[in-house]
């Protein structure tokens, strides 16, 4: 048990980093908000397995509902950027930046949409897992 608990603590930041990496790759390479959100839910699910569901909820610090709502909100508003620029709803708009360290960066409304998907999927997954874990 001690091993699992220790590993769980070290895995947490790694898994979250991997999920962000998957999210950031989503537009030109494999990955995206959906799979990123799934991976982001893993550390909390693991925590619920190792300890218990209430402890995982404390670790999350917020309710899965709010994550879902936040995600849907992001996704919905990403569509309006196009509208403000005179295009139909959900039209993708991109800007390109040259940043220090990161180099060439594409940033656009589909990324915001994907961030929305990320949080929505994370919220749904955690809601299901945590309520199942509390069922016992």
Partner 1 sequence: MKLLLVFPLLIPLSTAILCMLTWYNRSLQRSLALLGSGALLVTAIRLLTRVTVHGIQAVQMGAWPAPQGITLVADLFSSVMVLVSAVIGFAVMLYSLAHMDSGRESHGYYPLFNFLMMGVCGSFMTGDLFNMYVWFEVLLTSSFVLIALGGERAQVEGAIKYVTLNLISSALFLAGVGILYGLAGTLNMADLAVKIPQLGKTHLVTACALVFLVAFGIKAAVFPLFFWLPASYHTPPVAVSAIFAGLLTKVGVYALIRVFTLIFVGETSFTHSLILVVSALTMVTGVLGAVAQNEFRRILSFHIISQIGYMIMGLGLYTVAGLAGSIFYIVHHIIVKTNLFLVSGAVERCGGSFELKKLGGIYLKFPLLAALFLIPALSLAGMPPLSGFFAKLSLIQEGLVLKEYLVSGVALVVGFLTLFSMMKIWHEVFWKDAPVGAAPLTARRQESLAGLLFPVALLALLTVYLGVGAEGLFWLSQRAAQQLMHPSEYLAAVLKR
The stretches of 1-136 forming alpha helices (DSSP H) are 2-25, 33-50, 53-60, 64-84, 109-135
Give CA angle at 72 (70, 74), nearest 5°: 70
Q: Determine, following the binding rule CB under 8 A, whether residue 90 of this chain makes contact with partner 1.
A: yes
State phi, psi for 8 to the nearest 5 degrees.
-55, -40
CB closer to partner 1, 21 vs 73: 73
Size of the site for partner 1 (CB under 8 A): 17
Q: Could you give the angle at which helices 64-84 and 109-135 cross, rounded to 10 degrees?
A: 160
CB closer to partner 1, 76 vs 107: 76
* Other Cβ atoms within 10 Å of 55 Cβ, number: 13
CB closer to partner 1, 20 vs 90: 90
Interface pick for partner 1 out of 87, 105, 128, 132 (rule CB under 8 A)? 87
Interface pick for partner 1 out of 15, 53, 56, 68 (rule CB under 8 A)? 68
Give the whole-angstrom CA distance, residue 68 versus residue 122: 7
Stretch that binds partner 1, among 6-14, 30-38, 45-53, 89-97 (CB under 8 A): 89-97
* Chain positions contacting partner 1, by CB under 8 A: 63, 65-66, 68-69, 72-73, 76, 79, 82-83, 87-92
């Amino acid at each position: 048990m001690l091993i699992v608990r220790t590993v769980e603590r070290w895995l947490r930041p790694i898994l979250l980093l991997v999920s962000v990496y998957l999210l950031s790759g989503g537009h030109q390479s494999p990955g995206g908000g959906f799979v990123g959100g799934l991976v982001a839910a893993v550390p909390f699910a693991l925590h619920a397995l190792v300890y218990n569901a209430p402890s995982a909820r404390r670790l999350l610090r917020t309710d899965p509902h709010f994550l879902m709502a936040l995600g849907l909100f992001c996704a919905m508003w990403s569509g309006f950027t196009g509208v403000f620029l005179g295009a139909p709803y959900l039209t993708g708009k991109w800007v390109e930046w040259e940043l220090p360290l990161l180099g060439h960066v594409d940033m656009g409304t589909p990324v915001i949409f994907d961030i929305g998907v990320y949080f929505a999927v994370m919220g749904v997954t955690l809601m299901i897992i945590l309520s199942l874990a509390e069922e016992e």
